[in-house]
A = this chain, B = another copy of it.
Amino acid sequence: MIKPEPDLALVVREIAEEMQARSDRGDVAGYIPELARVDPNAFGMVVIAADGQIAAGGDSEQPFSIQSVSKVFTLTLALGKVGDRLWRRVGREPSGTAFNSIVQLERENGVPRNPFINAGALAVTDVILSGHQPREALGEILRFMRFLADDVSIVIDEGVAGSEQRTGFRNAALANYMRSFGVIENPVDFTLGVYFHHCAIAMSCRQLAMAGRFLAHGGRNPETGHNVVTPERARRINALMLTCGHYDGSGEFAYRVGLPGKSGVGGGILAVAPGKASIAVWSPGLDASGNSHLGRIALEALTRRMGWSIFGA
């Protein structure tokens, strides 16, 4: 009993239509003033298959603030710079607490649990910054994003970055706290500045799915043939996304969607179906854990219909 392969383009279009019709949309992140203005009815999805086919639905070309999705790419960059020495400054375990929790840091000497909670991402940013001016570090991150997405038009939304810089007291608390333990080494304002700016990178679903291809294909861009990271490192980044990529909703995401993924409070999610596809979805309304409400539902529908879960045939 062989089922025919579903038509990816059709599946993505259908899902986008279903999502656009739903009235439950979650709540747009209110704590960053600039983000609160985004249209809650937006929904976009892009899937890039192994053969290069691009299936798109909804607002797939509209740029949004990638926020914490950027942490996948800064992790990749930092591992490229210092390799496994990175793990002296940040752990690899789910946190069991909210994305901006400081409790765990006090219990564990200022070492964040993983690179995808805010504290961990700040430590990763600090590694990239090391020995550079903030402007240089930020330039490097932006160039990396443009290279991965093969798109020089990607920019930082300065309005969002400034908005965070003026109101990001909790991140400032985390950074100062880690600085007191030596886990952050640069001037706290430098590290925070680079962090707020790379979180404020604006990308469309298409651009984000393009940038994620190397994780779906053993570390290699299947189109250009460029090796971005080794196959082992790609697997490991995917494993971290699976266990830690959705804050305190990571278990739920694995249970329902069954793909490695990383969410951001801008409503974007990058997901990876190893060997099959790079996927980006965007809908600004968030669930209680701070992950895109419709984004997760759309990915659940996609993996079910395509049979893409990494947890079984």
Binding site for B on A (CB under 8 A): 91-97, 101-107, 113-114, 169-170, 172-177, 179-180, 188, 215, 217-219, 231, 234-236, 238-240, 242-244, 248-252, 254-255, 258, 260, 274-275, 309-313
- Judge whether A251 and B312 touch: CB under 8 Å: no
Q: Please, which residues of chain B bring their CB within 8 A of the CB of A102?
A: 102-103, 105-106, 173, 177
Q: Is the CB of B93 within 8 A of A252?
A: yes
Evaluate contact between B255 and A239: CB separation under 8 angstroms: yes
Report the minimal beta-carbon distance from A305 to chain B, rounded to whole angstroms: 13
A170 to chain B, nearest CB (A): 4
Given A95-B96, A250-B93, verify A274-B173 contact (CB < 8 Å): no
Q: Tell whether A97 pairs with B96 under 8 Å between CB atoms, given A238-B311, A312-B235.
A: yes
| A275/B313 in contact, CB under 8 A | yes
Question: Min CB distance, A1 to chain B, in Å?
Answer: 12
Question: How near does chain B come to A216, taking the closest CB pair, in angstroms?
Answer: 8
Give complex CA distance A91, B289 in Å: 14
Determine the distance from Cα of A312 to Cα of B276 in the docked complex, in whole angstroms.
Answer: 10
CB within 8 A of A251: which of B93, B104, B173, B234?
B93
For the complex with contacts A173-B180, A235-B312, A242-B242, 10 further pairs of A-B residues with Cβ separation under 8 Å are: A93-B249, A94-B251, A96-B96, A102-B103, A239-B251, A240-B255, A243-B254, A243-B255, A244-B251, A260-B311
Instruction: List B contacts of A93 (CB < 8 A).
Output: 94, 96, 248-252
Docked Cα-Cα span, A91 to B96, in Å, equals 12
- Chain B residue numbers with a CB within 8 Å of A235 are 258, 309, 311-312
Copies of this subunit: 4
Is A312 in contact with B173, judged by CB distance below 8 angstroms? no
**For the complex of A and B, 8 pairs with smallest distance between CB atoms:** A96-B96, A94-B94, A169-B180, A173-B177, A93-B251, A173-B176, A238-B311, A235-B312
Residues of B close to A274: CB separation below 8 A = 310-313
The chain B residue sitting closest to A304, CB to CB, is B232
Are B96 and A238 neighbours in the complex by a CB distance under 8 Å? no
| The one of B169, B179, B258 that contacts A177, using a Cβ cutoff of 8 Å | B169
Residue of A96, A103, A107 contacting most chain B CB atoms (<10 Å): A96
- In the complex, A103→B97 CA distance in Å? 12
Evaluate contact between B180 and A176: CB separation under 8 angstroms: no
Q: Which residues of B contact A172 (CB under 8 A)?
A: 172-173, 176, 179, 188
The complex places the Cα of A91 from the Cα of B94 at a distance, in Å, of 15
For residue A101, which residues in chain B have a CB less than 8 angstroms away from its CB? 106
The complex places the Cα of A107 from the Cα of B252 at a distance, in Å, of 19
On whether the beta carbons of B92 and A94 are closer than 8 Å, the reply is: no
Report the separation of the CA atoms of residues A92 and B96 in the bound assembly, to the nearest whole angstrom: 11
Tell me, in angstroms, the Cα distance from A158 to B170 when the chains sit together. Answer: 29
Contact B312 A234 (CB under 8 A): yes
In the complex, chain B residues whose CB is within 8 Å of the CB of A234: 311-312
Q: A173 to B231, alpha carbons, bound, how many Å? A: 39
CA–CA, A188 and B175, complex, Å: 14
